Amino acid sequence: MLDSVTHLFFGIIMAALGFGLVNALVTAIMERRREFGVMRCLGMNPASVLVQVSLESGILMIAGVLRGTVLGMVLVTITGGSINLERFARGLDIVGFRSHISVVIESRDVFNVSVLSLFFCAMASLIPTIRANRVPVLQAVSGP
């Protein structure tokens, strides 16, 4: 039961990550549509623009995953591997639950989060880049 709740929570977090990524990347790419038009006028083909944006977003995602992983491990180390909820959950003892939550970082979970984050990043960068590449070059350069 606890594993299924954990997977549900994990799914909700990954869905929020996906929506946040798509929002940020769509905004960033659509704001740079004129730059992509200029690059295409100078001879860059649409596939090169797609590769450039994918590499840029991939590098940003790798940096974010590394930063988040290190920050998470530091926080687990600072808290001593457990979170004390006595102040907030005095009634937990009544139903037989402990008021301390043990935090364990498993390499499998870190790997899953990293791979899924990079997958969401790839999908989130492909869609707006393809849309930006479909805009005719003269229209992209002239602006909205």
User: What's residue 144's pLDDT?
Assistant: 62
Q: What is the pLDDT of residue 2?
A: 66
pLDDT at 73 over 80: yes
- Dihedral sign of CA atoms 101, 102, 108, 112 in order: positive
In this structure, are residues 140 and 36 in contact, taking their beta carbons and an 8 Å threshold?
yes
Q: Taking 70 as the threshold, does the pLDDT of residue 136 lie above it?
A: yes
Please report, as a single letter, which amino acid is at residue 19. F
Hey, is 84 helix, strand or coil?
strand
The span from the CA of 123 to the CA of 46, in Å, is 17
pLDDT band at 64 (very low <50, low <70, confident <90, very high): confident
What local confidence, expressed as pLDDT, does residue 1 receive?
62
pLDDT at 110 exceeding the cut of 80? yes
Q: What per-residue confidence (pLDDT) applies to 93?
A: 67
Q: Report the chain's mean pLDDT, rounded to a whole number.
A: 80
CB 105 within 8 A of CB 73: yes
pTM: 0.69
- Write out the DSSP string of 12-72: HHHHHHHHHHHHHHHHHHHHTHHHHHHHHHTT--HHHHHHHHHHHHHHHHHHHHHHHHHHH
CA-to-CA distance for 3 and 64, rounded, in angstroms?
26
78 has a pLDDT exceeding 70:
yes
